[in-house]
Amino acid sequence: MRRRATEGVGAGDAGAETNANADASAKTDTNADAEFQAYMAARWPALVRTAFLLTGDRFEAEDLAQTALTKVYASWRRVRRADDVDAYVRRVLVNANAGRFRKRRVAEHLVAVPADGRAHEPHAGLAQRSALMAALAELPARQRAVVVLRYWEDLSEREVAAALGCSQGTVKSQASKALARLRNSAVLLDRDPVLVESGRKEPK
């Protein structure tokens, strides 16, 4: 009788421990979901802006940002422990954009209005933005990604290399080729020769 009672207590303890572990796991999942929602809300505008510069289309940009965040969410419990979450997310975004070109030939329709929908810039500013976006669209996908991350997002060569999964030497080479093409872009020469002339000096 005493043995059965002892066995019953042991089974009860095991059940209580299982329930406690389940509760802890559920609490962890809830906390992780809350952290992801907060991260997404804070970083969404910046991600869409970067995606817009990569795609040249505000709707494609939103789709790309959403695709990247969906991938990140699937691994969020691991990603949230990364030293640099933003760097991880940027790499997912860039890879997702590269996937667009691997799967199909993307027809791009560039617009002068930025991804946040604001259109209150002076006419000269809009014309300049339009020229830059059109010239950017002429670049190969890898060169465009380097230019966007290096000069628009102001990342270091090391950070760009990490985002693209390549060496810093490749970043330097691709940036040099991209800037040379932009300087000789017919779009920029036709629309804003002053802008091209002022851009002769490479950004540091």
**pTM of the predicted model over 0.95:** no
pLDDT tens column, 131-152:
778 888 889 989 999 999 999 8
Mean pLDDT of 1-21: 55
Residue type at position 98:
A
Which token pair is 39? 């991260």
Residues listed for the chain = 204
Whose tokens are 């872009």? That residue is 185
pLDDT attached to residue 120: 44
Q: Domain locations in the chain?
A: 43-198
Mean pLDDT value across the chain: 76
Distance CA(97)–CA(95), nearest Å, equals 5
CA atoms within 13 A on the CB side of 168: 5
pLDDT tens digits, residue range 41-76?
999 999 999 999 998 888 999 999 999 999 999 999
Express each pLDDT in 149-173 by its tens digit. 999 889 999 999 999 999 999 999 9
Superfamily assignment of 43-198 in CATH? Answer: PhyR, sigma-like (SL) domain (1.20.140.160)
Calpha distance 29→40 (Å, rounded):
16
Angle between helices 85-103 and 2-55 (to 10 degrees): 60
At 184, the amino acid letter reads N
Largest CA distance in the chain: 97
Residue 5 has what pLDDT? 53
